[in-house]
Structure 1
Amino acid sequence: MAFRGASAEAVATLTDALSARVDGGADAARVGGDLFSVAGVLRTEPGLRRVATDASLAAEAKSGLVRQLFAGKVDDAALDLVASAVERRWTTTRDLADAVEHLGVIAVVRSEADAGRLADELFAVAQTVKGEPQLRDALSDPSRSAADKRGLVRTLLEGKALPATVALVEQSLAGTYRTVGVALAAYSQVAAQVHGQGVATVRVARPLSDTDRQRLTDALSRQHGREVHLNVVVEPGLIGGIRVEIGDDVIDGTVRNRLDEATRALAG
């Protein structure tokens, strides 16, 4: 999620507060789940959202309302974060709910020590959803209840994936993003950022060997000055070579790209 102006400042401050609570022993997984629930309430209750973001109302009144509504229903750490959030200024009304969800994603990511496995699992689920039309349709079907979709996710993933992965895939069904795949890609970026990593999407014609994967990881990490996590996509149609996408940088050394360039040169 991209936040601007006052919202960006608020998110930065709240992220620091979340980190302090988690470092202080708060249950990150529970905090994350509770923040997801509050974000859902804010999205479905426009009246509450308007009041919570009304800059003309006293900050203490807004935080008091939030505490009254959610006390005893969410973890104290989550409640404090939400109360602090409504005291701040937001660039747009929507940003409050988006920020609370974003904090929830960070909390869930912080609940899992194995950052690499979490990133790999999120990417694998996104690829599965993309490649399985029936599953994609089932997860995006507006006639199916949210509980039904969550049940489908649990059936597919529980016992096979990390609890953090299951929680984030379930949250991807909230409709905040255009598709489940887009949501999972955004969550993967957050997971990498939380652990100080960059994310590179690598497209190859054949699977990389462990040695080649490590060599590429090391090279990209040196080039970008921080650890880089690889998401590898095998596309036989590339014929050979490799395409790397990291941030706004694209390095396309695939055979297919070179053939396309030669064809364009001949046509010109």
Structure 2
Amino acid sequence: MGQDVAARGSERLRGKGLVRQRSLLAGLIFWLLFDQAKSNSPPRQLSGLTLNESTDLAYGVLKKVQHDVAGELVKKSSYFHPMQKPDSLIFDMDGTLWDAVDTYAYSWNLVFSEMGIDKTITRDVLAGMVGMEGKKVIEILMPEFDHDKRVEIYSTVNDRRHNLIREKGGILYDGVREGLKELAEHYPLFILSNCAKGIIRQFIDWAGIDDLIKDELAHGVNFMPKNHNIKLLMDKHGLQNPVYVGDTAGDGEQSRLAGIPFVFVSYGFGTTDDYDVKFDDFPSLVKYFTSL
């Protein structure tokens, strides 16, 4: 199921079932004890237990039930919150709207070849770094070079990438173009990514969604973290309660730092358990937010 609600609801029902079973057991024990006391009969064993042992058992069961009921009330709030309708949706790009890792890897390897650097970047290596800020990426990919050389190479890679995105593009996730069109009828839509300056614009043009996106902001514009840039978009457009949609634990952390809900899409490159609502495909996300 696209929306991670059914599983959590089933878990909650199972928890309630256990509490109900234990309550019935405790009630049965006390009924037997009460019946024995009413008949003034001498103490007898209950399932091999003396009266005192039975009393201790019943008391223990009731304490356990009390603990479980309290736990259920606390846990109930952590299963799934029907989200308050936001006033806008801010999307991550890579791993959320499309997969362009093959094009990104090609741009790295093209530049390495042009510069005579004996190095190859694979898709798997690059996929593990999707969502990272550029300075972290170049530290991991090029530990053998000093900072200035890394920046020079990275700048060249991004220059090549602009043309390559127009030529090669990427893979738009199922339902994204149609879904964004439907969502734009209900919300202003934004894209915010840890990519280089100009890459989001290249993506928007390639995907043909310019009329659907109100604004975009890339890390390469100011080299600030996502939580800072989320707040910039909020201030610029007067957003009161946006949500951020992303595919990594880092996206969730930055959403928390910005003080807004995090919507996790599990089909991307990362994993996390820290989210307000989760979707396994884009159409499920669209259906949910258009129904709020």
Tell me if both proteins adopt one fold, taking TM over 0.5 as the criterion.
Answer: no
| Greater helix share, structure number | 1
State the TM-score, normalized to the length of structure 1: 0.21
Larger-Rg structure: 2
Q: Which has the higher contact order (CA 8 A, sep 6+)?
A: 2
